[in-house]
Structure 1
Amino acid sequence: MTAPRTGPVAGVVLAAGGSTRMGTPKALLDAHGATFLARLAGTLRRGGCDPVVVVAAEAAGPVAAETARAQARLVVNPGGEGGQIGSLRAALAHLRRLDDPPAAFAFTPVDNPAVAAETVRAMIRGWERSKAAIVAPSYESKCGHPVLADMTIAAEFLAEGLAEGARTVVRRDPTRVLEVPVPDPGIADDIDTPRRYAERFPREGAATAESPPAAPESPTQPHAPRTR
């Protein structure tokens, strides 16, 4: 019988994007009294992740200040270079330099604030008890975030030529991916437009939804590494 894997699992919140479709930083949006950033950092921590890292576009400013308030570690990806995969690479570079690097990491874009801590716990249990290199939560047969990956495959996320960003690595070999069914619609509840924010958080999102629509995301910016 194979012994369960052990070791720290880091949590990574990707918050360096320009939020062009939302028109305001998604990391700072209110979600029932806490920002998206604070909710996700707390969820990852309560789910068993340590350390929790937030990747921001600037070393100073509102997102950096909110990261400090959330008691998370700040990693800077200047200007959000390279989109979501660029931010994930910045986080991995930081984690690999730690004196006690994690054995795995769970990453999520900041626009998934409704994920439950129990989902994170279930993913970590799945990783500990299996040989899977990647663990993805699923709800009604759809996968979402966070995605957990073993540090033994971190180099794959750092490699060049990932046409679909992190999704390229996640989908490369289905035999090494463990899907963990969870009763959590929040895993696929990405909130990246004023309309979606107003639907999900009516009280907080009303004013944002009334704002003029922002320009579409630049095609040069990779989309969040959705697994579905």
Structure 2
Amino acid sequence: MPSERSGPVAGVVLAAGSSTRMGRNKLFFELDGETLLRRVVRRAIDAGLDPVVVVVGHEAERARAELAELACTPVDNPDHALGINRSLRAGICHVPERARAAVVMLSDMPFVTTRMVASLVTRYRESTAPLVISAYGDVNAPPMLYDRALFSELRQMSGEGCGRQVVRRHRHEAVAVSWPAAALQDIDVPEDYERIKAELGA
């Protein structure tokens, strides 16, 4: 195990969007008795990510109140309407120097588990790769782990993509952890929420 990789790995949870297709803020929808926001942040914490930075924007005060009892650091993104990459930049900028890497997570993927997040960290510590990718069949999607060496590229990104530019640039250096395609499900429209509730029996 590379000794320099034994230090902390941070979490960056992107939770600033306005959920325009849902009609109201999906982060406060409940699954299994807790909001989607708390569910995702709690899993980041339980996986041992330290610190967990949560980027908030739309309904920021409500999000902060929802997170008040959790060991995380909410960070405001006043430019959240300009795209998810603004939130990613804001989160990466608040990762402290002591963190060797960061796992970037989306707040609307309820099937991402604590074990999945922890497995990314384990794979990172066992390798020399600067990037650990979640692979759902042929699809690469969050959560993704970025070594600190890639932070400057993440901060300089423009346009959309949630780090996809950096992933494409470094794909040849990356290692992948495979997950069932079902874990890729997210919540974008009301029908997604109803389907996932039914699957969870919530």
Residue of structure 2 in register with 1:224 after alignment: none
2:190 is aligned to: 194
| Structure 1 match to 2:89 | 89
* Equivalence for 2:68: 68
Q: 1:81 and 1:205, CA in 2 relative to 1: closer, same or farther beyond 3 A?
A: farther
The match for 1:218 is none
> More strand by proportion, 1 or 2?
2
Aligned residues: 202
Alpha-carbon separation, structure 1, partners of 2:58 and 2:19:
14
Name 1:108's counterpart in structure 2.
105
Verify the 8 A CA contact 2:103 2:144 in the aligned structure 1.
yes
**1:80-159 equivalent positions in 2, closer than 5 A:** 80-95=80-95, 98=96, 100-159=97-156
Look up the match of 1:15.
Answer: 15
Is contact 1:104-1:148 (8 Å) kept? yes
Cα distance, 1:143 vs. partner? 2.5
Superposition deviation, residue 108 in structure 1: 1.4
The 1:24/1:152 distance shift into structure 2, 3 A limit, reads: same
Equivalent position amino acid for 2:72 in 1: A
- Choose 123-132 or 78-87, whichever is displaced more: 78-87
Query: Given the superposition, is the C-alpha separation of residues 118 and 165 from structure 1 closer, same or farther in structure 2, using an over 3 Å criterion?
Result: closer
Q: Give 2:27's aligned amino acid.
A: A
SS of corresponding position for 1:181: strand
Identity %, equivalent residues: 35
Paired residue secondary structure (2:11) = strand
Letter in 1 for 2:195: E
Provide TM-score, normalisation by structure 2.
Answer: 0.89
Q: Does the C-alpha gap of structure 1 residues 57 and 204 become closer, same or farther in structure 2, counting only changes over 3 Å?
A: farther
Verify the 8 A CA contact 2:57 2:78 in the aligned structure 1: yes
Task: Report the Cα distance in structure 2 between the residues aligned to 1:163 and 1:144, rounded to whole angstroms.
Answer: 14
Task: Summarize the Cα distance change of 1:88–1:196 in structure 2 as closer, same or farther, 3 Å threshold.
Answer: same
Larger radius of gyration: 1
Task: In structure 2, list runs of 5 or more residues that go unmatched.
Answer: none
Q: Which amino acid aligns with 2:105?
A: T
Deviation at 1:79, TM superposition (A): 4.6
Q: Counterparts of 2:4 and 2:156 in 1: how far apart (Å)?
A: 29
